[in-house]
Amino acid sequence: MNELYEITNPVFNTAKMTLTLLDSVGNEDAAAFKRILGLEGPHVSGQTAEVELLGRIGAITIEMRYALANRMIETAGNKSVLDLACGYTPRVKYLTDKGYQYIGGDLPAVAEDMMRVSRELLGGKELFLAVDVTNGDSVRRAADRLSGPVTISCEGLVSYLNRSELTAMVSNFSELLAERGGCWITTDFESDDYFMVIARALAGDDSGHFMDMVTSQVIKKTADANHAPVFADDEEKLEFLHGLGLKVERRPITDLSSLGLRTLLACTPEQQAAMEEAMSRIHVWIMTPAKEQAKKSAGSGNGGLQIEQSLEDAALTLRLGGRLDSISAPELLGAFRTITGENTVRDITLDLADLEYTSSAGLRVMLLMYKHVGAGHFRLLHVNETIADILETTGFGEYFGS
């Protein structure tokens, strides 16, 4: 099943890289997690000076964002934390040791892996659930495990979501916070700025080249059709968040030295000073519910996917209903592999009359089907307005038509 999750959600293994980098900079909890999960460190033999420098930039970025998020969670004042796209970071250990209630949500494979960590280090507590942030019921089920106002934390998630996914996620967060109180904290809305500040301090005029290297890797891993940024600038981000019922405080990053970042110890005093000065112009975003009623969640639903299939003369028809998202897309891919493994399929028709929503994970499965039969042999029927808009904004409509 992990293979199916990796295909439908290609950034699946980046969470493991984050854990490995935290271990490499001396985070003892990360080392313990890595041992339990059986993860290997990166292979470094024979790497170029350029790749080594990129690794240093990445390590500082990861450690800084992790420490900043932890500090902001602590200053928020809420003792219940909903960590979404929690990945494999040791935040659960850091916070529960300090007396916080914690629930981490991510793909089912990640949640299962992290429950192994819980059984060995955290007394087997049910602290991890399968959650799709675009699914309102999925987010709510996780939040219901917590009491009182909730701090939602997400780190390294926003940049991988398209416009429709972001709309669904933010709507879900806004509704939850309006009911429960609390806040949403993230370093994601200025994530490129963090990286660029560190790259400029270490690489000077070559900093843009390192950003290009990272971007090319993201494109390779996500396999999305449209890689254009969702927002043109911070003002557009603010307008988007306000429109979905959230007030935004952008808190500048100051006093880096208080974070105890081990990666900074290997930097020169000049590099540290350059980062400190530049970081004061970058922000952690803290969002709370506005008085206005938030819009109805675009991602509401129970997360279930219904699949009806028929195969006649090598022509496969799949009728899809419900939600096609990061949790259910592997189910569709698994069904498709079973069919094509046992039968010849030359034409594919997807009937989407009852499909309420698809995320990029679902679109990737459609793209695999399209590639299996080729242009002219793949078609979509009964595409509703919601799905048509998603196809258009993500660029997948150019492949499939409708």
**DSSP3 helix / strand / coil % (the chain, rounded to 5):** 55, 20, 30
Both 110 and 150 in one domain: the answer is yes
- 266 phi/psi in degrees, rounded to 5: -85, 0
Identify whether residues 8 and 151 lie together within a single domain: yes
Average pLDDT over residues 218-230: 58
Q: Tokens representing 327?
A: 């949790």
106 band by pLDDT with thresholds 50, 70 and 90: very high
Q: How far apart are CA 305 and CA 303, in angstroms?
A: 7
- The CATH number given to whatever domain includes residue 158 is 3.40.50.150
80-84/101-106 β-pairing = parallel
- Residue 298 reports pLDDT greater than 60: no
- Note whether residue 185 is domain-resident: yes
| Predicted pLDDT of residue 214 | 67
Q: Do 100 and 183 sit in the same domain of this protein? A: yes
Q: Which of 189-193, 295-299, 344-348, 388-392 has the lowest mean pLDDT?
A: 295-299
Together in a domain, 257 and 345: no
Residue 317 domain flag: yes
Do 146 and 273 have their domain in common? yes
Query: What pLDDT score does 173 carry?
Result: 96
Please state the separation of Cα 202 from the chain's center in Å. Answer: 27
Q: Are residues 248 and 370 in the same domain?
A: no
Average pLDDT over residues 286-292: 86
Mention every residue, 6+ apart, whose C-beta is less than 8 A from residue 223: 10, 364, 367
Model pLDDT, residue 125: 94
pLDDT band at residue 399 using 50, 70 and 90 as cut-offs: confident
Q: Are residues 89 and 175 in the same domain?
A: yes
Q: How confident is the model at residue 194 (pLDDT cuts 50, 70, 90)?
A: confident
Of 238, 265, 289, the position where a domain reaches its end is: 289
**Residue 297 placed within a domain:** no
Residue type, 69: A
The tens digit of pLDDT for each residue in 352-378 reads 999 999 998 999 999 999 999 998 999
Among 224, 254, 289, the domain boundary falls at: 289
CA–CA distance, 282 with 376 (Å, rounded to integer): 48
Residue 84 lies in a domain: yes
Report, as an integer, the average pLDDT of 69-87. 95
Lowest mean pLDDT among 44-58, 127-141, 147-161, 264-278: 44-58
Cα–Cα distance for residue pair 76/163, rounded to 1 Å: 28
294 within a domain of the structure (yes/no): no
pLDDT the model gives residue 297: 52
Based on the structure, what is the number of domains in the chain?
2
Same domain, 285 and 333: no
> Encoding tokens for residue 186?
């993230």
Q: Residues near 189 by Cβ (< 8 Å), separated by ≥ 6?
A: 158, 234, 237, 283, 285
CA–CA gap between residue 384 and residue 402 (Å, rounded): 10
| Contact between residue 5 and residue 12 where contact means Cβ atoms under 8 Å apart | yes
- Work out the burial of residue 46: count CB atoms within 10 Å of its CB; fewer than 13 is exposed, 13-18 middle, 19 or more buried: exposed
In angstroms, the CA 276 to CA 253 distance is: 9
Question: What CATH number does the domain containing 312 carry?
Answer: 3.30.750.24
Is 130 part of a structural domain of the chain? yes
- Mean pLDDT, the chain, as a whole number? 88
pLDDT at 211 over 80: no
| pLDDT recorded at residue 12 | 64
Residue 144 lies in a domain: yes
Domain boundary among 240, 261, 289: 289
pLDDT digits (tens, 9 = 90+) for 16-35: 888 999 999 999 999 999 99
**Domain residue limits at 378:** 305-400
* Pair (72, 182) in one structural domain: yes
Confidence of residue 256 (pLDDT cuts 50, 70, 90): confident
227 with 259, same domain?
Answer: yes
Residues 57 and 103 in one domain: yes
Q: Are residues 264 and 347 in the same domain?
A: no
